[in-house]
Chains A and B, each alone.
Chain A
């Protein structure tokens, strides 16, 4: 009697044999105890291996997270605030993140304003007490305007990329909810950047762009919470 080849036995064990060959091979198993026992043994191995647990739930990998986070932080342009370990009180963390984003945008505004001569604002048509200008409150390090523009553009791009990443991690229904918001904000940012390209000295435009960037950051946080 001719026994089954190794290919046929392995193919029967993992179900990869073609329909016709499987039928012929199965017919042989009905008449050959040795081949039948061997194929069953292989089937048991395939079943056991393919149902191997995905992981051992021993918490060991939790210990690796701090080192991973540290390596990631080293690679970032703008470091995120320190993460709180418990949710109560994390509104402080979110608030610091908001202030950080506002400060980044405000640096652009402050530096461009310092670099160029300010054009006099139109005199109010009402006879009223002169109103003082409102400067951004978080202006900090002075740096060349071009460098800070780069920071702003990079920050915007980083946020856009993170929106896409967060959407990818949401279940489909929730991703759709976020999509409409993301599109509205993207469009606003695009219009503002276009307007700023034609009128870079306009402080109101710069502030509006900072607000739109803030909205982007808020949306990312909402999506994180929804995933």
Chain B
């Protein structure tokens, strides 16, 4: 464990390796038609860990998140949550989780999308309270109070009765983050949350994520193209290419002294791209 606080940035107090895995990918394959997006992926994500996935477009990073959310089914391999089967066909025909059990597990996950996906016909307030009320069965004022606190936290107090299209992209994405947090998930999945934003507002969104990382112990899986952000917020970074994890390690290793040529090439390519 690094002891230097400044260097450690927004990383979780526990760090990786010190606690049990909350989410495990065991030799996961995913094919879309002829395209093999994941080719035998195995990663353990630990409770409280902040794990960033980096790599070229089409390397399967987003699919990793969508599999955890059961928005996609693995072609082969297993995904375990908290030691229980979440997705995949166990070899030798073990128990498949019931729909109910899967939904129960999915409730522990929150996801933020590249395209925000706020409900355009609902106010910010209703976007934030709909799921807590309908799924968690919170009372109306309890859900509203939770929403107001979250809006405060993401720096959008006072905008609760606006509609999404009345907000900037950065504000919309912050609402989407608040919406996911309103369900109090144990695991947050961030899928290229700044890719659809203008460069000058990327910072405000990432700052919100960093603050959440600092203030909570939520496990985070982050797919991003923002390398400085990944370095700052992650306990561990996984470099993806061609459907496999090429290299995994602490951000210092990945960004300052990558072991693999492909990681080096990727980092060089994107730094020249800007």
Judge: A and B partners, yes or no: no
